[in-house]
Amino acid sequence: MEVRRQHTFLVLAIMLVASLACLFIAGVLTRRARAGAVSSSNARKAGASNDQVYAAVAPVKRETIATSLSIAGQFMPYQNVELHAKVAGYIRNIDVDIGDRVHQGQVLAVLEIPELVAQVDEARAAVHHAEEEIQRSRSDVLRAEADNVALHANAARLVSTDRVRPGLIAQQELDDATAKDRSSQAQVESAKSTLAAAKQQLEVAKANLAHFSALSGYAKITAPYEGVVTWRFSDTGALVQAGTSSTTGLPVVTIAQIDLLRLRIPVPESMASKVRLGDPLDVHVQSTGEHFTGKVARFTNALDPSTRTMQVEVDVPNPTYRLQPGMYADVTLLSGRQANVLTVPINALQRGRDKTTVLVVDAQNRVQRRDVQTGAEDSNKVEIVSGLSEADRVIIGNLASYQPGQLVQPKQSAQLTVSGEKE
């Protein structure tokens, strides 16, 4: 009997444990089912969120645009000249050296030319001699004219007497008086011719004096303009050759005008025809970090056959000599200015080998690919000649992330930090 009760108690215990286990398993399964439902809901929400793709867009606008070209330019002296001696001679003294600032008309060097001094003295003496010859010739003219007056009066008197009393005066005497009268007239003309020749000789002598005096003036080498001595080739006592001789020697010094510089820019053939006087430029000097603007002052209107470029120049004031010839500058040239043209940001373009396209977001916020024809462009925007209208919106940035027909959420580019991502 006791054994039967123990057996019954054991069966009841086993049944109780089994019931508790079933309840535990059911609870675990219920919690897992609820967790799975929550995960599925979150996944659906996340999937719905990921399906909404944002796109940075910009409107097609009418703006003023100019073709932009970035190119390196070089500063050159506004004027640069090598000063030669006009006549050969020895340098008596030279008063400047490289780096010296000089003023217009300042004496830079003086030459010693002894033979030229002698030539000036000789020419001056020739002038004095010609003046004396003129005085002598004038006296000869006066004397000849006086003799002519006396002889002419005597001949006229004899002729008049012969008319009143024929035969009173011998014919020989009349002929002699007439001959002397004519001879005196010829002497007057001869004296006048001699006087004219003396005057011409005086002019020749004065011209020679002016010539040698001018050459003597070249013994002083002066600065033709305000500038800087960039090189010195000779020293005191050196013999310099005349700059006009067939064997031209070295110059004495080189003077560069750098208070005004030329910024010379080689513009390529593709843009040469668009350059106009007054086109604006943006200049950044590499070595000094300076930044300023300028305008096109002149250009060659011809291409260099070797480089296929056209030289364009900008005048750059340099009163403090802060810029030096030979420095390079990064130049951005704007030319071909056009107003009221359709433009888009330059990063909206997809350039291919044979065509250019943009991605347009239509009224239903779906992506469309459009072929466009472009015109002028600057660093930020490009002209659209055909393919777009003013009401269109174009995607900018991360263009490879979008496909035609894709549904996107457009946002103005200023509202996005990274194209295609939500803030």
Give the pTM.
0.59
First CA to last CA across the chain, in angstroms? 82
What per-residue confidence (pLDDT) applies to 292? 93
SS3 185: helix
Contact partners, residue 98, CB within 8 Å, separation at least 6: 229, 230, 231, 232
> Shortest CA distance to 89 belongs to which of 116, 58, 117, 112?
112
> Sign of torsion, CA 267 271 277 278?
negative
* Contact (Cβ atoms closer than 8 angstroms) between residue 230 and residue 73: no
∠ CA 126-130-134, nearest 5°, is 170
What per-residue confidence (pLDDT) applies to 38? 45
CB neighbour class for 78 (10 Å; exposed up to 12, middle 13-18, buried from 19):
buried
CB neighbour class for 205 (10 Å; exposed up to 12, middle 13-18, buried from 19):
buried
- The four Cα atoms 18, 20, 26, 29 give a dihedral, to 10 degrees, of -100
What per-residue confidence (pLDDT) applies to 35? 53
What per-residue confidence (pLDDT) applies to 40? 46
Mean pLDDT per 10-residue section of the chain, whose length is 423 residues? 57 64 60 53 45 86 83 95 89 93 94 86 90 89 85 80 76 80 85 89 91 86 94 90 68 94 93 87 91 94 93 95 94 81 90 89 92 83 90 89 90 53 37
Contact partners, residue 402, CB within 8 Å, separation at least 6: 53, 55, 359, 367, 395, 408, 420
How many secondary structure helices (H) and strands (E) does the chain include?
4, 20
Other beta carbons within 10 Å of 12: 10
Half-sphere exposure for 273 (CA within 13 Å, toward CB):
2
Q: Which long-range contacts (CB under 8 A, 24 or more apart) does 46-53 make?
A: 52/409, 53/402, 53/406, 53/407, 53/408, 53/409, 53/420
Buried b / exposed e over 316-329, threshold 16 CB at 10 Å, is bebeeeebebebeb
